[in-house]
Structure 1
Amino acid sequence: MLLAIDAGNTNVVFALVDGDGKIAARWRIATDPRRTADEYAVWLHQLLSLEGYARGDVEGVMIGTVVPRALHNLQVLAQKYFKQEALVAGQGRAAWDIRLDVDEPQNVGADRALNAIAAHAAYPGDLVVIDFGTATTFDVVDYDGAYKGGIIAPGINLSLDALVAAAAKLPRIAIEAPSDPTVIGRTTNSQMLSGIYWGYVAMIEGLLARVKAEIGRPVTTIATGGLATLFQTHTRVFDRIEPDLTIQGLALLWQRTRKDRP
């Protein structure tokens, strides 16, 4: 099985993926570049055991990361505890096999390239992938699988953090889908939720409409990331919800590296 590791700015997701690309188990831990390979190993060993797996079941490790400082300890984890030389998405044998048709291809985040790979493999035609993470990103993938660019906006939690930090009397609230469709709040909390939630829905819908107009062809919109399901009840702009798109991209890239072996 593949141990796929998606190291994002907020969380690191570990997933076991079988030979058919099916995710057998997944776990999430807060991103901390100071966390050592030994700490990861203790935590991960317990979770593997709870799911009925052993370290020996892992026959490959693929890492995708947007946190460079976290990479070394994850590579040590693979080598020391799984006896595997980890492949790093976008590097060496795991170099991107898609065209990054942008002005600065070297600066495209691993998660965005992986999302493009997985989305193109699953859906035909032009695509827009909206990834709800620390940042909210819109990625455009054309019909032949090339990554064409996109948009980076502050994530919804980041927006709330900035608001609460800058306004002394505003409380920290939980972000959730409102039970009432009205946007006119009658308390401080409901007004904040309306501004954060409905403001975010308006941003998604507005930016996506502009992107689609610019593409000028039919587009399939795919939502992914930890907060993707938060918005699906109150907007109809998503054609598909794929929570594990980045992990799927890691699995596809790993399979392609195995096919390329002599």
Structure 2
Amino acid sequence: MLLAVDVGNTNVVFALFDGRELKARWRIATDPRRTGDEYAVWLLQLLNVEGVERSQIKQIILGTVVPRAVHNLTVLSEKYFQITPLIAGIDKACWNFQIDVDEPRSLGADRALNALAAHAKYDGDLIIVDFGTATTFDAIDFNGAYKGGIIAPGINLSLDALVGKTAMLPRIAIESPRDDSVIGTNTEDQMLIGVFWGYVAMMEGLIAKMRDQIGRETRMIATGGLAILFDNHTEIFDAVDADLTLEGLAILAERAESA
């Protein structure tokens, strides 16, 4: 089995794969100070709940946008599983596709993994929207080359800024509006309308401009935790694929094993 670890700015996701089949996933808050031993106490209990022995883990791969977390996750891998982990984008786990931007090394591992997985699963030109701590928009051409994209504040970051910089606005949860009205009659509704529908308008506007610039028929793929929430209020997505980043790790590990 493969243990794939996706380290994001907000959460670390551990996923268990049998081949390309995702068997289980677990999430823990990102903390670069968390030691390998602390990860092990948490993870080994979860593996036990799933009935998986640590000896069944034959390969480990890490994809991270938090470089400081790599050391402790490597300690976890080597001390508790006797496996030296693959690092996405490095050595045997190199991307092996064209990154057509000014500074290819600056591309985040999560975005590269999304590009890899999306090209493997979907045909033609693609735009991938990943709803994470930041919301990213990435253009992948029909050959699988990464052509560039957009980075925007995530919706929760936008809400945090709004609440944090005002004295009287309350903290609200991001959720589906009760109806399509864009005229709120109380403070909470007005905030939700501004953040949610403002985000939908921003997203649809940027995607329209990207499609115009690409100039060819383009499929829209959404991923990330809030993708389903937005999919219910826009018809712009052709597919919602919540596990795209994890699947990219599984594909990369498979290629590295056969290299």
Task: Give the deviation of 1:251 after TM superposition.
Answer: 0.3
Aligned to 1:12: 12
For 1:83 and 1:131, how far apart are their aligned partners in 2?
Answer: 33
For 1:70 and 1:236, how far apart are their aligned partners in 2?
Answer: 37
Aligned to 1:203: 202
Counterpart secondary structure, 1:79: helix
- Can you give the 5+ residue segments of structure 1 that lack an aligned partner in the other structure? none
Q: Scaled by the length of structure 1, what TM-score is found?
A: 0.98
For 2:173 and 2:116, how far apart are their aligned partners in 1?
Answer: 33
Mapped pair 1:99 → 2:94? no
Aligned to 1:194: 193
Counterpart code for 2:210: V
Task: Give the deviation of 1:255 after TM superposition.
Answer: 0.5
Counterpart code for 2:72: N
Task: Give the deviation of 1:50 after TM superposition.
Answer: 1.0
Counterpart code for 2:18: D
For 2:125 and 2:165, how far apart are their aligned partners in 1?
Answer: 40
Cα RMSD (Å) = 0.6
Aligned to 2:31: 32
Counterpart code for 2:180: P
- Can you give the 5+ residue segments of structure 2 that lack an aligned partner in the other structure? none
Counterpart code for 1:205: E
Aligned to 1:88: 87
For 1:90 and 1:119, how far apart are their aligned partners in 2?
Answer: 16
Counterpart secondary structure, 1:84: coil
Aligned to 1:140: 139
Counterpart secondary structure, 1:61: strand
Deviations 1:156-210 (A, max 9, x none): 0000000000001000001001121101110000000000100000011000000
For 2:116 and 2:63, how far apart are their aligned partners in 1?
Answer: 13
Aligned length: 259
For 1:203 and 1:22, how far apart are their aligned partners in 2?
Answer: 35
For 1:110 and 1:145, how far apart are their aligned partners in 2?
Answer: 16
Matches within 5 A, 1:1-262: 1-19=1-19, 21-260=20-259
Kindly, what percent of the aligned residue pairs are identical? 63
Task: Give the deviation of 1:223 after TM superposition.
Answer: 0.3
